[in-house]
Each structure stands twice: as structure tokens, then as C-alpha cells.
Amino acid sequence: MNPSPGPRTSLADLATRFPAASRILRRERLDYCCGGRRSLEDACRSRGLDPQALLLEMEEAAAPAPAVDWTTRPLDELVRHIVGHYHEPLRDELPELVALARKVESVHRDKASVPRGLADHLIVMEREVREHLAKEEQVLFPLILAGHGADAGAPVQMMETEHQDHGRNLAHVREITGDLTPPADACTTWRALYLRLATLESELMDHIHLENNVLFPRALCE
């Protein structure tokens, strides 16, 4: 079992063990790829950053949300949860994943194992996800919150069809990346990219489950 991270943990270790770490390290311009052997403490010292504050942010991002029975909570609370916990982070994460994929494909373009076409596919995913979220937030969710969920059969059916498209897009990501398995010689950025893609898949599947199997059936019956 890996020990808990601390100030002396290397940047590379953080980036390949914790999904939120690479995003935070990139934001603070801490090089976890070529400079990945440096400890968080040393890297922070050179930039005047607090390593404990960054570790706390990583831990909070990785902490599981408290279990809530969304089958019984008010619909407006459920909708707010979906938008805040899933929609907003998706809008932030997808462009970051595109940038990471572009970097990996460019730096390692001569390797047979490079995930060719991944960045382009993620761009398509980002466009489709953004359009989907806008439809939910501007059309379907206001209809539900206004108490007209029983009349939302057509938009619900459209959203469920688009959810199937998202599932196929996730499956194609696994095809391009060899089932999200980095090769033995993969750099830290490459490994961090696959770790975050696995988290994206998990979050998006939970998101779709909550809408398809909890929100939509409840809204259609009220």
C-alpha cells in the first residue's frame, strides 16, 4: 500500500497517483514531467508556494462525497448537485485533457504506442458534452424545476440518446489508449493523462446514472 503523500513526495509520484494532482501542479507551473523527480517541498520552495496547502487541495479533491440518497431528496437539490458536481467540473476538465493529449501525441509522436488521434477525439467529446450540458441547463432542467417534468418526455428521450453517444465516446477513448494502460516507458505526463481519463470515465458514468436512473424517472412522474 502506498504511503500517504507528504511534502517530500516527488511531483511525478503525485501526478501518477492522484487524479487532481496534475491539474493543480500545472496550474502552479510545477513541472511534474521533466522535473518530476523533485519533491513537492523543493519545487514549492523555488516558487514561494506552500506545499501543505497544495497537498490539502489534492486530498480534498480526492475525498469521496458523503453518501446521499438522491431518490428521496428534493428535485431542485438534485438538479443543483448535478450542475455543481458534474457539469461545471466537466467544462473545466475536458480542455485540460485535450491539452495533455496534444502534448503526449507531439512529444512521443515517433512511438508506436502513442495514442494517435486522442486529442482530436477529446475535442469532439468536449463539443458534444458542452452542447449536451447546455440543452439540459437551458431547456430540460428549467422545465423540471418549474414542475412540468411530466411533460418532458421528448427532451428526456433526447438526453438519454446523447448519453449513449457519450458512452460510445468513452469506449473509443479506451480503444485509442490500449484500455487506458500506459506503456512501460510512458513519461509522467502520459501516465497522468490516463489517470485523469479514467477519472473522467468514472465521473461521467456516475453522472449519467444519476440522470437516467434517478432524476429523469422521478421528474416524469411528478
Q: What is the pLDDT of residues 130-149, one digit of tens each?
A: 999 999 999 999 999 999 98
**pLDDT classification of 17: cutoffs 50, 70, 90:** confident
Integer angstrom CA distances of residue 176 from 105, 180, 200: 12, 8, 15
- pLDDT score, position 51: 95
pTM given for the model: 0.86
45 beta partners? none
**pLDDT classification of 2: cutoffs 50, 70, 90:** low
**pLDDT tens, position by position, 94-110:** 999 999 999 999 999 99
- pLDDT score, position 118: 98
- pLDDT score, position 33: 75
- The fraction of the chain above a pLDDT of 90, given in percent, is 80
**Which segments of the chain does DSSP mark as H helices, in order?**
11-17, 19-27, 40-47, 51-62, 75-82, 88-107, 118-135, 141-145, 153-176, 188-210, 216-221
10 beta partners? 39
Tell me the backbone φ, ψ of residue 57, rounded to 5 degrees.
-65, -40
**pLDDT classification of 4: cutoffs 50, 70, 90:** confident
Query: What's the CA gap between 125 and 103, in Å, rounded?
Result: 18
What value does the mean pLDDT take over residues 172-187?
A: 96
Integer angstrom CA distances of residue 63 from 178, 189, 210: 28, 23, 19
Tell me the backbone φ, ψ of residue 177, rounded to 5 degrees.
-100, 10
Whether the predicted pLDDT of 190 surpasses 90: yes
Cβ partners under 8 Å of residue 83, min gap 6: 137, 141
**pLDDT classification of 84: cutoffs 50, 70, 90:** very high
**pLDDT classification of 1: cutoffs 50, 70, 90:** very low
What value does the mean pLDDT take over residues 105-132?
A: 97
Whether the predicted pLDDT of 201 surpasses 90: yes
What value does the mean pLDDT take over residues 123-135?
A: 97
Residue 114 backbone zone (phi > 0: left; psi -120 to 50: alpha; other: beta): beta
